[in-house]
Every structure is written in structure tokens, then in C-alpha cells.
Chains A and B, each alone.
Chain A
Amino acid sequence: MTNYRIQGATGEWEVVIGLEVHAQVTSQSKLFSGASTTFGAEPNAQVSLVDAAMPGMLPVPNRECIRQAVRTGMAIDAEINAWSRFDRKNYFYADLPQGYQISQLYHPIVGEGQLLIEADEKAGIPEDKIIGIERIHVEQDAGKLMHDQHPTMSYVDLNRCGVALMEIVSKPDMRSPAEAGAYVRKLRAILRYVGSCDGNMEEGSMRADVNVSVRRPGEEFGTRTETKNVNSVRFVMQVIEYEANRQVDVIESGGRIVQETRLFDPGTGTTRTMRSKEDAHDYRYFPDPDLLPLVLEEGFLADCRASLPELPDAKRRRYVEVLGLTPYNARELTAEVETFARFETLLAETAKVIGKGEAAVATQVANWSLSVAPGVMKALGDEADPANATAAAQASILAMQDKGEISGGQAKEIFEIVLKTGRDPAEIADAEGLKQVSDTGAIEAAVDAIIAANADKVEQYRGGKEALFGFFVGQTMKAMQGKANPGVVNQLLKDKLG
């Protein structure tokens, strides 16, 4: 249980949060028309007769959008409704040519599901927590109005109009900004794993309506407000922080929270009233008579299920249980699609090159992927050409390291040159002399010389001053110009010093 509380003048308050996330479905064409969905086209370049609501035009459901919603539902362990229906939500606005949005109020395509947010002490989430998901329904996005193009007129861009959205409605199960942030991040990861939404919050592919209320711990839910269209994880957390404190202030100063829709101002981090419940639209929902009920057949559902990739929780478990990674590494590697994809490619390549099983090299590859390689890249900055960081090149470096041919430091140096030039790592190691000496004879000679030259220290060491071992290692490495295999050096020193 989170211990997040608002400390009011009259005592502690608990925050109750529910999120409605709108996620744009990844598909070539819109939900009910053949128009393209590509981001960034010229205004009104992607508008079909259906999107513009010309007289007599009819919607035809896009199977791919339906498929993506079903796969998403399956990914959150939700009930899939084999029978669902589209409803019309009626209201007038210039960005909504039909005068209604086709949505699903009464019979959504996806029913109850759930999502796990992981314990994160630092963030204030002491243990794993299941967040319930109420439903996912599919609906049309609206167009865009531009009010700054003309002194007295507004411009309408219908490119986005009719694009498919999934509205993913959580239960009021979150109790802190951190939990809400973790929920959005996890949901985004799942959507991106499944490939049903690109999760690009800056481009508006994902945005959240944030429902917040406060109550005395353990009491009934308070009245909630809904803050619309919040488009980053940080803003979601800010909205909650601000709203919760505002509500506590209102209640403690004798006021009452009114159910209302609010807008977030990212500039000030505050929210303000958009419309109250009294001004709320009567949307006059009713089943869209242009569309038949959506009936999903067994075969379609089976195909959807079969097409699901390994999902974040399962992957994380496998990384720990099968690959032997630390929970921290497993979580870091599975957070983003790009991260695990790069890791798994490199892991397979490295195992192949070294000739061992993946589990045997996983920790080495994980450390390389999470800290060594990003460190080198970051240090190089613009000098690095990321395209040179091929799996083959990195696997070759890791293999040399695994065989003891190069040290960790040499691996970094070689990788640096690879990033700058794209040269072959083995060739670099040879040409640049970036190899460590494992030849016992050469190292043994150096060790003997150092023991002979430091008889006093040998005496002290043998007398019990074990800390001096590092001195001998350092001296040997220095003598070998840093190129001696540390394992061999250690072994020889231990043997000789007794």
C-alpha cells in the first residue's frame, strides 16, 4: 500500500485516481474510411468523403483497427466481447463533420482486464500492485481547429478526423502520482510491445483524461474532477499533485468539490475549469444505425491471440528466471521495445559467436547493453555514429573479452574506435595493440622481477598484510603496460607469494 497522503490542515487525505487513456491505433487507414493516417501531412490532404461527412456517405469498419483493439485487450488479460456495437455520441463542433462521434458506450469491444505496476521503492511504490482496467472501446478521433491563422475565422484540418482511437479506462485504483505515472508507462510499454499504438505522446498518439478525487483514508470516494487531454507522464503526475492539493484546500476551507471537466496548463502546472456538470453536453448516445453489431469469430480471436508477442511481465520473468539477470537489469531491459530488441539481438549474436548458451553470456551482455555501451556512446556524443554499433561488432568485442584477449578497458577503447570509424573490432585490437597478454611466461617474468625488487613488501605481505596484494597487481600491470590479463596476473601472484 502506498503511503502517499496529502497533509491537510485538518489531517491526512488519500488521493483516488482513475485514468482514461486515448491511444491512437496503429493502422494504415482510418477507423471507418480508407483515408491515410500518416502524421504530418498537409492539412486536409487525408480526408475521404466519409471523413468530411458528405451527404450519403457511410462508415465501414476497418478490420485492422478492430484487430489491434482485440490484441490490446488480450495483452491486459481482458475479457474480449465477441459481440459489441458502435454508438453515436452526438454534439456539434467544427472539428466533427458528422455532428457525432462513432464510439462504443453500451457494448465495448473489450471488457475488464488488469495491469501490473512494479514495486519501485525510490518512486514510492513499495510493492507490486494490480491496477484494474474497466474497459477498452474503439472510437473516432476528431479533426483539429486552428484559431491563429486568421483574425476572424478558424481553420479546420480534418486529417486526424476519423482516425481510430482506443479509450482505455482504468478503475479508480491508483492512490499516488507515482502509481499513475507507473500505470501510464506500463500501459504505453504494453501498447508498444503489442504494436497497437506507437505511444508517441508528443505527437498526441497517447493522451490521458485524469480523474482525481480525495477522501479521508478508508472513507467513501469523494467527488471527482476530470482533467482532459494530458499528454505526458510528467504532466499526468503534475495534474494529480495539483488537483489533489487544490481539492483538499477547497474542502478544508468549507467548500465543496463540483463534478466538472478541467483543463491543464503545462506552463503553470495548474488546472482550471472547462465546464461544470450542469453545462455538460447531453450526447444522446444511441446505436449507430449505419453499422451492424460487431461480431468476432473464433478464428479471428485465435489469430489475434497467436499474433501476440511476449509481453513485458513475462519477458521480465524470463530474464530473471531463465537468463539469470538481476531484477533491476531485467526491468531496465524490458521497459522499452527498442531496448529489449537490441538486447535480444546482441544476446543471440554474442552467444553464437562465443559458442555458449544465451544464459551463460546474458549477464555480460546485459551489463554491456545497460551501462558499458551507453556510457561510451554518451561520452563520444556527436563523434559516435550509432549505425556502427552493429550487433556483430559488439558481439565480436564481447567474445574477445570473454576469451580474455582484451580487458574491460580495452573493450571500451575498441568500441569507441568502432563507433567513430566502423572498423572491425578484431582488426582494431591487433592494429592498435589493444590486447592483453595472457602469455604466462611473459607475465611470470614480470612477477618474478617485482617480487625480487620488493623483498620488504613480500615479507610484510607474508606476515599478514594482505592489503599489499593490490600493490603487486598494480606493479605487475604497470610493468606489462596494462596489457596483462588480470586473471593470469592474480593467479601467478597468489602462487608465487604463497
Chain B
Amino acid sequence: MTDLTQFGVKDIRDGVRDGSFTAREVAESFNAVVADAAALNAFIVTTPDHAIAAADKVDAARAAGETLGAMAGVPIGMKDLFATHGVQTTAASHILEGFIPRYESTVSQKLWDAGAGMLGKLNLDQFAMGSSNETSHFGNVASPWRKSGSNQPMSPGGSSGGSSSAVAARIAPAATGTDTGGSIRQPAAFTGICGIKPTYGRCSRWGIVAFASSLDQAGSMARSVEDCAIMLGAMSGFDPKDSTSLQMDVPDWEGALNADLRGKKVGIPREYRMEGTDQAILDSWEQGKAWLRDAGAEIVDVSLPHTKYALPAYYIVAPAEASSNLARYDGVRYGLRDLPDGSGLQDMYASTRAAGFGDEVKRRILIGTYVLSAGFYDAYYTQAQKVRALVARDFERAFQECDVILAPTTPTASFPLGENVDDPLAMYLNDVFAVPASLAGLPAMSVPATINAGLPLGLQLVGRPFDEQGVLNAGLAIQQRAGFKAVPEKWW
């Protein structure tokens, strides 16, 4: 029998629809490879029963002649930042260990409604804070990829590192991710998969453990542009429970996919040529231009003059919001409570939060608290908001001259686990190309371009607000020309 785990979202959906195989067969196949992949540590908990139950429902619906949903029969990995009813939701933190929500996030509910099932809750950087998946309370996630000639475990990127690792290792056809400052795109680039963050507001944030509310966006991570489009379509849509949700119809992205870019202009931001960027990355960027030119696009130079201020601004805005968003983890109502003998309320707060949060989370809470403090607010927070507005204006102006922007996703390929853990600034630099689009709330995607020294490299596409289609189409043009077919060799 065919190995069903070789299929992605579209192939599974179509195969289940036309009866080539059953959803249950698909779920069982993936459950088996998930169970066999503990060495990756991609999952915090596995939920084989959820996948089987969803599959059986799809098979029954098909047998009854019902119309099947967009994700029918596709078992996926769910980043453990999405609240899932009856299934532990931790944000990879100790403070939420054992927390079992009695509610389902809007995005996960939409996926189940579309016929998807859940293989398990995917590991991530704690509270989505990290770029290497080394801040999880539940241990590091390993990338399935290894550098040529090395057995060193490599980072799958972060924060959606469990998602990228699982999809790249073919133990999940697709996974949800969230992207606050590159948390979908950077891990996708590190692991040779596709990942798209839509326009801010496309996906409801209701039921997603908040990191930085004005930046957090859910998105899809999968093996192909088509798969990302299908899954994102199932995740998106207005939600009255999220005030920042976009009140717009969700286009048929899959149906409108078109790699013919004639008449389109692709912008190359000159400020993205930064020192410290690997030559291999610069080469792949050049290659990307050639591919898009080949697809009929005109390549134009654009300027995003405030790019160099984006990362510092991000590391003020995001921690500021996080410091407030994470105040609710106080040991009073749910999750961890550390109550030393004879202690009062303040001691309980301090003790619970000291024990429940990891170092990176504490670092960001401290930074955020500092930048919002009386006397520092204007110098940091207000200033960062101004920068944010300028970054957004940069894009607005650039998009008067082009339809989509092409840039590297990251300045380097994946690095060995442990390499950057003691240098937060070096770690933060991973997101230097990803953060500007996040600050501006724009749709952005990473697609695999090539392999260098055994490790995948990604290219990033950034579009106008609401123009996920333009991003997906340019991504498709690259995908077709890159012919990225590499699969990591199984070592786990």
C-alpha cells in the first residue's frame, strides 16, 4: 500500500474525496509515524484518538453522500498555543502545565468544522517567545534536518518549531503556527517547508494564548503553497469574539492560485542587504529574482528606509504587550499555584511566577515592564509606536511601486541547538527580515528555495494588506521553479 504520510493536504483531501483511501487510513498512518518520532520532541501531547474520531466522522459523512469540508480527512498538528477543548494547552510553559480548557479556539474549531483532525499539540518556544524552540518547558525540538557531515541536532526555528519539525519530518501533513515577529516564516525557512502569516485580523485570535496582541497572527505551515492556501482558507474569517478580526470575506485562495506573474512587479528592498547575511542566502535571493522574472514579473528596486529600526521597535512593543498579557498567570484561578507555607497573596504571585515562567519569558516581562514604566514610556513605547507607523508607511510607499516584495526569510540557515542560547541579541537577529511585515500587519510567506550544506534556505514574500493571493501566487511561481523536493533523511 502507498505510504499515505507522503501526501500533503491537497492530496489527502482529494484522495479521501474520491475514495482512493479512507480518512481513517490516513489518520492511522500519521498516528503511527508520530508515535515513532519521539526523538524530535515535536509534540507535547499526542492525540491519536482525536485524529481517528475526526477521520471516522469524515468517512461516515462521505458514505452518507455529504459534501466534505476543505480539510476533510487531513490530520494536522496543532501548535500548543491554541486552546483545545478537553486537551491540555500549555503554551509550552510550566505555569499552564495541566491546564485543560473547556473551550476551543476559533481557528482550531474552524479546522475541525472543515473536517480536519488533531494528531497532537505541538511543542513551541514558551509563550511563543523564541526563535529556536529552546525555551519550551517541555524540552527542545530538533529539526529533522542535519548539516552535511554532522550529527549535531539543529534548531527547527521558533517559535513554531514543533510545527516546522513535524511537517518537515513528514509526521504531519500540515500544522498550525502563529507568527508574532516571524514565528511561522523563520521555522518554515529553517526546515524547507512553506508557511504563511496572513494579514493581521484574518484569523481570529480568540482562544490563542496571547503573546503580543497587536502582532499575533495564526497561519498555516505545510509542504506546498497549495496546501498552505487550502488550510489558511479553512482557518480564516471574521469572528465577532475578536474585536481586531477583519470583517471581510475570505477569498478562494486555492481556486485563484496562478503562477503566471506577467504584469506584476516584484520589489527588492535595498535595505535588506544587511551585514551578517550569509552569502548562500544572498545567492538564493538572486536566484529568487531570476525565478520570478522567469514567471513574467518585472523586478524593481524599492526602499524600506526604516528597516533597521524595526527590530528594536519590535523588541519594545512585543514585550510591552506581553508583560501585560501574561499578568493573568497569577496562580489564582488556573494553572500552577506555588503557595509556600504561611505566605500571602504577594508571595504567591512571586513564587508562582518565578517557578512557572522560563528565563526568556521573564526577560521579556521585565523588558516590557520597564518600557511601560513611568518616566520611560515616552522614550521607549511611544517612540516604538512611531517607528512602527513609519515602517508601515515604508511598505505603503513601496507598494505604490510593486505588487509583492521578495526578500530572504532569515539572514542564516538553521543553527545547532545551543549555539545562540546565551546570546539573546544574536537570537533576536534571526527575525530581522521577518519583523517589519509583522509590525505592518502584512501577509507574508516563506517558501523553500534551495539546500545549502544540507540545510534548507527559504525566500520570503510580503504582500499588500489583504493580498494573501499575491503572496501565494508569487510563492507558487518560486515553488514551481525551485523544484524543492528534498526530504530529510530519517534519523529519529
**Bound state CA distance, A52 and B207, in angstroms?**
13
**Bound state CA distance, A284 and B218, in angstroms?**
28
**Contact (A92, B349) CB under 8 Å given A58-B242, A99-B327:** yes
Q: Which residues of B contact A56 (CB under 8 A)?
A: 82-83, 101, 105, 205-210
Contacting B at CB under 8 A, from A94-109, are 94, 97-100
Select from chain A the residue with minimum beta-carbon distance to B96: A55
Nearest Cβ on chain B to A220's Cβ, whole angstroms: 25
Q: Does B7 contact A (CB under 8 A)?
A: no
**Bound state CA distance, A55 and B89, in angstroms?**
9
Is there an interface contact between B101 and A54, defined as CB atoms closer than 8 Å?
A: yes
Q: Which of A289-297, A323-331, A477-485 contacts B (4 or more CB under 8 A)?
A: A289-297
Binary contact readout A276-293 vs B (1 if CB under 8 angstroms, 0 otherwise): 000000101110011110
Is there an interface contact between A282 and B374, defined as CB atoms closer than 8 Å?
A: yes
Select from chain B the residue with minimum beta-carbon distance to A56: B207
**Bound state CA distance, A292 and B441, in angstroms?**
14
**Bound state CA distance, A314 and B210, in angstroms?**
50
Q: Does B373 contact A (CB under 8 A)?
A: yes
Nearest Cβ on chain B to A281's Cβ, whole angstroms: 10
Our pick among A61, A99, A285 for the contact of B243 (Cβ within 8 Å) is: A61
Is there an interface contact between A100 and B327, defined as CB atoms closer than 8 Å?
A: yes
Q: Which residues of A contact B91 (CB under 8 A)?
A: 55
Select from chain B the residue with minimum beta-carbon distance to A283: B374
Q: Which residues of B contact A54 (CB under 8 A)?
A: 83, 101, 103, 333-334
Interface residues on A, range: 20 to 34
Is there an interface contact between B372 and A284, defined as CB atoms closer than 8 Å?
A: yes
Select from chain B the residue with minimum beta-carbon distance to A49: B103
Contacting A at CB under 8 A, from B307-334, are 320-321, 323-324, 326-328, 330, 332-334
Is there an interface contact between B209 and A55, defined as CB atoms closer than 8 Å?
A: yes
Select from chain A the residue with minimum beta-carbon distance to B349: A92
Q: Does B273 contact A (CB under 8 A)?
A: no
Contacting B at CB under 8 A, from A45-94, are 49, 52-61, 88, 90, 92-94
Nearest Cβ on chain A to B125's Cβ, whole angstroms: 16
Select from chain A the residue with minimum beta-carbon distance to B205: A58
Is there an interface contact between A90 and B327, defined as CB atoms closer than 8 Å?
A: yes
Q: Does B428 contact A (CB under 8 A)?
A: no
Select from chain A the residue with minimum beta-carbon distance to B326: A99
Q: Does A376 contact B (CB under 8 A)?
A: no
**Bound state CA distance, A61 and B82, in angstroms?**
23
**Bound state CA distance, A54 and B207, in angstroms?**
9
Select from chain B the residue with minimum beta-carbon distance to A60: B243
Nearest Cβ on chain B to A287's Cβ, whole angstroms: 8
Is there an interface contact between A60 and B240, defined as CB atoms closer than 8 Å?
A: yes
**Bound state CA distance, A88 and B377, in angstroms?**
14
Interface centre among A92, A98, A291 (most CB of B within 10 A): A92
**Contact (A55, B321) CB under 8 Å given A49-B103, A97-B333, A284-B372:** no
Q: Which residues of B contact A94 (CB under 8 A)?
A: 330, 332, 345
For the A-B complex, the count of residue pairs with Cβ-Cβ distances under 8 Å equals 96
Select from chain A the residue with minimum beta-carbon distance to B245: A58
Is there an interface contact between B374 and A92, defined as CB atoms closer than 8 Å?
A: no
Q: Does A473 contact B (CB under 8 A)?
A: no
Q: Which residues of B contact A372 (CB under 8 A)?
A: none
Q: Which residues of B contact A58 (CB under 8 A)?
A: 205-206, 241-243
Q: Does A320 contact B (CB under 8 A)?
A: no
**Bound state CA distance, A290 and B83, in angstroms?**
17
**Bound state CA distance, A160 and B242, in angstroms?**
22
Q: Which residues of A contact B83 (CB under 8 A)?
A: 54-56
Q: Does B351 contact A (CB under 8 A)?
A: no
Q: Does B214 contact A (CB under 8 A)?
A: yes
Q: Does A421 contact B (CB under 8 A)?
A: no
Select from chain B the residue with minimum beta-carbon distance to A156: B332
Select from chain B the residue with minimum beta-carbon distance to A95: B332
Q: Which residues of A contact B101 (CB under 8 A)?
A: 54-56
Is there an interface contact between A92 and B243, defined as CB atoms closer than 8 Å?
A: no
Q: Does B99 contact A (CB under 8 A)?
A: yes
Q: Which residues of A contact B103 (CB under 8 A)?
A: 49, 54
**Contact (A292, B244) CB under 8 Å given A55-B96, A90-B372, A284-B373:** yes
Q: Which residues of B contact A60 (CB under 8 A)?
A: 240-243
**Contact (A57, B206) CB under 8 Å given A49-B103, A92-B349:** yes
Nearest Cβ on chain A to B34's Cβ, whole angstroms: 25
Q: Does B336 contact A (CB under 8 A)?
A: no
Q: Does A154 contact B (CB under 8 A)?
A: yes
Q: Does B369 contact A (CB under 8 A)?
A: yes
Is there an interface contact between A97 and B328, defined as CB atoms closer than 8 Å?
A: yes
Select from chain A the residue with minimum beta-carbon distance to B91: A55
Our pick among A55, A97, A282 for the contact of B99 (Cβ within 8 Å) is: A55
Our pick among B213, B214, B320, B330 for the contact of A92 (Cβ within 8 Å) is: B330
**Bound state CA distance, A395 and B189, in angstroms?**
85
**Bound state CA distance, A292 and B246, in angstroms?**
11
Q: Which residues of A contact B334 (CB under 8 A)?
A: 54-55
Binary contact readout B194-232 vs A (1 if CB under 8 angstroms, 0 otherwise): 000000000001111110111000000000000000000
Is there an interface contact between B377 and A286, defined as CB atoms closer than 8 Å?
A: yes
Is there an interface contact between A154 and B205, defined as CB atoms closer than 8 Å?
A: no
Q: Which residues of A contact B324 (CB under 8 A)?
A: 88, 90, 99-100, 284, 286
Binary contact readout B86-128 vs A (1 if CB under 8 angstroms, 0 otherwise): 0001010000100101010100000000000000000000000
Select from chain B the residue with minimum beta-carbon distance to A91: B327
Q: Which residues of B contact A57 (CB under 8 A)?
A: 206-207
Our pick among B243, B323, B326, B332 for the contact of A97 (Cβ within 8 Å) is: B332
Q: Does B190 contact A (CB under 8 A)?
A: no
Q: Does B381 contact A (CB under 8 A)?
A: yes
Is there an interface contact between A286 and B372, defined as CB atoms closer than 8 Å?
A: yes
Contacting B at CB under 8 A, from A268-320, are 282, 284-286, 289-292
**Bound state CA distance, A90 and B345, in angstroms?**
17
Select from chain B the residue with minimum beta-carbon distance to A98: B328
Select from chain A the residue with minimum beta-carbon distance to B350: A92
**Bound state CA distance, A53 and B373, in angstroms?**
23
Q: Report 27 cross-chain contacts, Cβ distance below 8 Å, ordered by A residue.
A: A49-B103, A54-B101, A54-B103, A54-B334, A55-B96, A55-B334, A56-B82, A56-B83, A58-B206, A58-B243, A60-B241, A60-B242, A90-B323, A90-B324, A92-B327, A92-B346, A94-B330, A94-B332, A98-B327, A98-B328, A100-B324, A156-B332, A284-B377, A285-B372, A289-B321, A290-B243, A290-B244
